[in-house]
Structure 1
């Protein structure tokens, strides 16, 4: 007789509905640097576990949580695991004179891992590949305009606004297979889809004109993306001593070319964003090229309750090409970049019956990222540094028959800052990730009725 945990299945179906309703609305707080490329690329940053220990995990398997950074590590998930998570950002933007604080919550990931055989585990998941959300406002007095109000400034000013929203989502099917002692390989195929909207608006305001209502002239560009991306990984475990294990992992995500359907429209709007006129000036099918990514990681653990790990990520941003009717012929908006992360976790005593806090998993880490963005003035260096920490908190009574289900509440926190050197603009952020995972031993045959 087989056992399948019904609440487990019900929660999975409910989470699918929630993720489906959120996937088109996912946003983060205002991030001016997401205007470049296809936005802030989240691919390769990992799940809540990884986000709590420096966004690392290419070389550190987890038996109770899904590792979506390296498909080769799926093999170590020998139980059915379902995981869903959300994240929230609070950001403070400053340029030395002005400050802006805002934030928003977003869908983070949804994944299900199922052991297919003794050597093979497969996983299906949904997560964001990139996110776009920026807003820039610039006021410029019109030279030569009269100063009839006598306030020392021209009466006529131009207000320029630049907005962006949307992002690209990733549905992935991943597989991890054990090849030999300590050696596992992984392969993942992803379907990428999403829409990115960008607007450039200009409003001319004459302070001396009290009759006419100001209107915005808006260029609205909407681009829909679809395409396929392939990635592969490898991992090797070596027993160095009875209490020390070395792990080495690597992942490669190939360059992907997406189909891009772009529509450009000229709109006339009132100041409350009401559209009073719209003309589509261009509707074109084209392509966008996403950069390849390479990751290498090392880990040390005692095969019991602690692990220390580090990752190096190289993103060939110069591969990126913006929209073009010809493949690979679009604008280059990014340069190459890298990220270094270190972190670790410890569970004092997962089987403790006397202390709840000994059963909690504690994580800490940090990362440094360097990238290049291409502006009209040439390439500019973008740096991002952050400290992270987090916990996995066991829920309920732990793993017990007859359902053999374990639930974990996973948390991740990050505090950091990114800036482009020479611009004076700093983006300080505090990020919270919250997830819940269920692991269950399906298809267990009862020995007694």
Structure 2
């Protein structure tokens, strides 16, 4: 009965976040999302985001790291059942756009669902499975630009919305210090873009024009990952009897070049606005529905390392005291991305990330709530994959956050709950770019772990 109740609670919570996810999409005004598949969404776990977004070698047994499926083999399992982890995340994104020509400024703040994940061990032999839903890209912008022809003034209105999402299932396995895993699933979404030319009719009357395209994406995808854990040494404190095991962890994860389907509806029309400001079509210049094609997604991968101190007390309780690492991520958007009959200003992207994690009082009974919290910090810097104005679009941000254990895992309780937070402060673009974005992101995630599938010993 208890298992049924827990299952119902998790289903209700999942349905609630799915309803939010389907209704509340990103509303920030980001003109760079016009290109490619849109702005790449930071879909790392909230814990990883606080550490600069490192994922290749990150693995703490509690957090579900869907960016490297090799970590799934370390989901906790026990003799009498499996530790099922439910992980959800969401963000508040605040950004300020600055335009040099014309001189403009725009502010926005938005609530953005991040991911929904559930992970469970498949056996006591370090097999694990994770299923989830998360955004891959998002598109949202509305930009007005004045213009002039010899006879009249005009205004160009550029608008876009949509994004691409991932629904996936992954499996991972660990043998000693070596782990490997893979994700497979379905990419789906849409992208709607339009360019409206509106004549202000100072002298000659012209009809306003609209060139629009709706793109619907869908297709299977696969990603792989691996980690290697190299033991560096051990040390036991003579007073506390706490044993520290120091290790170097190496990780690589990514996705090879692959194709997904796209169906486009292309429209060129003249229009006018009614009294309520709604678009009313006047005449169709041309309309091409259901144009099928293939989009080539580029090779993307990240590789990194972490040095960790995993401590144990009397061989019973085990957790990480600290960890620190760095990684490099690369996306071959300029070389490999292809959309049918369209050339876009894209370039190969790269990002350098680094971060640390530390727990002040891991096993001390006097540490208190904040002493047992998990503190994290990091940064990332690199080039975005969009090169809209012919110049590289540099991105730099600093991150920090904490994980708060509302119910600490120990040898007497098979339940644990961690509230993870992350703050990101950064900039997209530099003085060489016409448009720059200053952003601040606050993210919060809830990681719930409990024993499911308990084998009965008594009836």
Q: Which range, TM-score by smaller chain?
A: 0.7 to 0.9
Residue 193 in structure 1 maps to residue 185 in structure 2: no
Aligned equivalents of 1:50 and 1:399: distance in 2? 23
Aligned equivalents of 2:362 and 2:449: distance in 1? 15
For each residue in 1:160-213, what CA deviation from the matched residue of structure 2 results, as whole angstroms up to 9, or x when unmatched? 0111111000011111101x320010111121000110010111113579xx9x
For each residue in 1:63-91, what CA deviation from the matched residue of structure 2 results, as whole angstroms up to 9, or x when unmatched? 11101111001111112100111112111
SS at match of 1:380: coil
What's 2:38 paired with?
Answer: 39
What is the CA distance between 1:223 and its match in structure 2?
A: 0.5
Do the aligned residues in 1 keep the contact of 2:259 with 2:295 (CA within 8 Å)? yes
Aligned positions of 1:31-430 closer than 5 A:
31-42=30-41, 45-78=43-76, 79-96=83-100, 97-118=103-124, 119-143=126-150, 145=151, 156-178=152-174, 180-207=175-202, 216-242=208-234, 243-265=245-267, 266=269, 268-270=271-273, 273-277=277-281, 279=284, 281-283=287-289, 284-304=291-311, 305-324=321-340, 330-354=342-366, 355-375=368-388, 379-396=390-407, 404-419=414-429, 422-430=432-440
SS at match of 1:62: coil
For each residue in 1:323-372, what CA deviation from the matched residue of structure 2 results, as whole angstroms up to 9, or x when unmatched? 32xxxx65254211211000011122244444110121111000002135
What's 1:18 paired with?
Answer: 17
Q: TM-score, normalised by structure 2?
A: 0.86
Do the aligned residues in 2 keep the contact of 1:30 with 1:135 (CA within 8 Å)? yes
What is the CA distance between 1:321 and its match in structure 2?
A: 3.8
Aligned length: 425
SS at match of 1:30: coil
Q: TM-score, normalised by structure 1?
A: 0.88
Aligned equivalents of 1:75 and 1:8: distance in 2? 23
Do the aligned residues in 2 keep the contact of 1:255 with 1:290 (CA within 8 Å)? yes
What's 1:29 paired with?
Answer: 28
What is the CA distance between 1:15 and its match in structure 2?
A: 2.2
What is the CA distance between 1:417 and its match in structure 2?
A: 0.2
Residues 51 and 301 (structure 1), Cα distance of their counterparts in 2 relative to 1, 3 Å cut = same
Do the aligned residues in 1 keep the contact of 2:391 with 2:433 (CA within 8 Å)? no
Do the aligned residues in 1 keep the contact of 2:331 with 2:385 (CA within 8 Å)? no
Aligned equivalents of 1:24 and 1:282: distance in 2? 29
Do the aligned residues in 2 keep the contact of 1:30 with 1:133 (CA within 8 Å)? yes
What is the CA distance between 1:256 and its match in structure 2?
A: 2.1
Do the aligned residues in 2 keep the contact of 1:53 with 1:388 (CA within 8 Å)? yes
Unaligned residue ranges in structure 1 (runs of 5+) = 146-155
Do the aligned residues in 1 keep the contact of 2:117 with 2:133 (CA within 8 Å)? yes
For each residue in 1:28-71, what CA deviation from the matched residue of structure 2 results, as whole angstroms up to 9, or x when unmatched? 4111211110011236x511111111010210211111011110
What is the CA distance between 1:285 and its match in structure 2?
A: 1.1
Do the aligned residues in 2 keep the contact of 1:235 with 1:250 (CA within 8 Å)? yes
What is the CA distance between 1:311 and its match in structure 2?
A: 1.1
Do the aligned residues in 2 keep the contact of 1:80 with 1:115 (CA within 8 Å)? yes
Do the aligned residues in 1 keep the contact of 2:303 with 2:327 (CA within 8 Å)? yes
What is the CA distance between 1:260 and its match in structure 2?
A: 0.5
Aligned equivalents of 1:88 and 1:21: distance in 2? 14
Aligned equivalents of 1:343 and 1:91: distance in 2? 23
Residues 3 and 86 (structure 1), Cα distance of their counterparts in 2 relative to 1, 3 Å cut = same
Aligned equivalents of 2:22 and 2:324: distance in 1? 34
Do the aligned residues in 2 keep the contact of 1:48 with 1:435 (CA within 8 Å)? yes
Do the aligned residues in 1 keep the contact of 2:20 with 2:113 (CA within 8 Å)? no
Unaligned residue ranges in structure 2 (runs of 5+) = 77-82, 235-244, 312-320
